[in-house]
Amino acid sequence: MLRKLALTVLTTLLLGACAPKAPSGCQDMRCRPQSNLQQLTIWWQPELRNGPYDYTQVQVHP
């Protein structure tokens, strides 16, 4: 019983170590919000940012 538990824990730890790590912040384009019919997403260059966010979302009125 103890051996089976130890093997399960070891397998879980090994699989967890192989899992991809999430980047700190948003470095990947897939995790960034995109523009849609209701909102326009504006991406700011680092020198133009005035806060912690690298984008602004603006409501679009038809």
- Any idea which residue has 């979302």 for tokens? 57
Instruction: Summarize the confidence of residues 9-23 as an average pLDDT.
Output: 69
State the total domains in the chain.
1
Residue 50: which pLDDT band, with cuts at 50, 70 and 90?
Answer: confident
| Helix boundaries (H) for 1-62 | 2-18
Q: State the pTM of this model.
A: 0.45
pLDDT recorded at residue 53? 77
Position 18, amino acid: C
pLDDT recorded at residue 40? 93
pLDDT recorded at residue 55? 84
Structural domain containing residue 37:
2-59
